[in-house]
Amino acid sequence: MRGVGGTRLERGVAVRPQRIYPDVEMAERSSIEWTEATWNPVTGCSKVSPGCAHCYAEAFAERFRGVPGHPYERGFDLQLRPDRLEQPLKWTQARMIFVNSMSDLFHEDVPDEFIESVFSVMAEADWHTFQVLTKRSERVAQLASRLSWPDNVWMGVSVENQRWTCRVDHLREVPAKVRFLSCEPLLGPLRLDLQGIDWVIVGGESGAHARPMKADWVREIRQQCQERRVPFFFKQWGAHNEIGQRVGKHRAGRLLDRRIWSGLPVITRTEVTAPTPGSPRRRVVGIRLA
């Protein structure tokens, strides 16, 4: 739909045409170990807790501040991107999609109505699985009853140290099919109540100012997961290796006690394929190892 002055209208919101920057806009593939693609209907954010101190999204976005026409021309300032709302509907191959790798969907400056639009796209694009991760867990709990929670929407909170385990309590109030924790960057030991939690991801910090993560903190979380039979995913050591030496993310790797830990939630759901012209959607009921 065309609007005034070359703008398009998408879901009732005027969208100005922009030059395409494939590296930052093509989000169909992701290098993040626990997902397959990223989708950023919001970009930009502000810091809320110690885990944000060296936010990779901020560092990335600020590199382009002031570059005319670049999607991050305004750096890490919070921006709604209504023109991206329908991207997942165009990706016909089923994917695991991390929502807002460059922001926090539940940021206080994102209107309730926009969050509802994101959730309605996720419900519509039901051949994908969406992973939504936030540090604004209180707002998720407040809004939860206004949002729809289809089986293909997983909800997670970040927990970097004991002070922020209150986010796990907020998450438990959310009726998502899969509730998960991202303990990254892990900044201290954690005693977790894992009741109602389906998946735990742990990772250390990378980057120039990375803070080291102690191996015993990771082992303690793994132990808690094993006791509660919760899948445990060890994503990376980060910039420091198991004994605290700064060796860089790639050399530090992701082995813990000589093996890779890639636990994932096992769920039962209806498999759905994307609609294609002339062919009805195929539905197969079965076990899905997501």
| Residue selected from 27, 37, 42, 45 as contacting ligand SF4 according to rule CB under 6 A | 45
Nearest C-alpha neighbor of 39 from the set 93, 95, 1: 95
Considering only residues 87 to 116 of the shown chain, the ones binding ligand SF4 according to CB under 6 A are 103-104
Task: Rule CB under 6 A: say whether 55 interacts with ligand SF4.
Answer: yes
Task: Rule CB under 6 A: say whether 52 interacts with ligand SF4.
Answer: yes
Pairwise CA distance, residues 154 & 181, whole Å: 11
Residue 135 CA: distances (Å) to CA of 48, 140, 207? 8, 9, 20
Which one of 28-36, 51-59, 172-180, 278-286 is the stretch in contact with ligand SF4 (CB under 6 A)?
A: 51-59
Task: Rule CB under 6 A: say whether 135 interacts with ligand SF4.
Answer: yes
CB 103, min distance to ligand SF4, A: 6
CB 52, min distance to ligand SF4, A: 3
Task: Rule CB under 6 A: say whether 47 interacts with ligand SF4.
Answer: yes
CB 109, min distance to ligand SF4, A: 11
DSSP-assigned states of every residue in 197-256 = --EEEEE---STTPPP--HHHHHHHHHHHHHHT--EEEEE--SB-TTS-B--HHHH-SEE
Residues that bind ligand SF4 (rule: CB under 6 A) add up to a total of 10
Pairwise CA distance, residues 180 & 201, whole Å: 8
Task: Rule CB under 6 A: say whether 27 interacts with ligand SF4.
Answer: no
Nearest C-alpha neighbor of 85 from the set 46, 120, 57: 120
Q: Is the dihedral of CA 173, 174, 178, 182 positive or negative?
A: negative
CB 107, min distance to ligand SF4, A: 7
CB 178, min distance to ligand SF4, A: 20
DSSP-assigned states of every residue in 47-107 = --SGGGTT-HHHHHHHTTTT-TT-TTTTTTS-EE-GGGTTHHHH--S--EEEE-TTB-TT-
If one counts every other C-beta atom within 10 angstroms of the C-beta of residue 286, the result is 8
* Nearer to ligand SF4 (CB atom), residue 54 or residue 70: 54
Task: Rule CB under 6 A: say whether 57 interacts with ligand SF4.
Answer: yes
Task: Rule CB under 6 A: say whether 209 interacts with ligand SF4.
Answer: no
Task: Rule CB under 6 A: say whether 53 interacts with ligand SF4.
Answer: no
The site map against ligand SF4 for 173-192 (x = CB under 6 A) is --------------------
The binding site for ligand SF4 (CB under 6 A) comprises 45, 47-48, 52, 55, 57-58, 103-104, 135
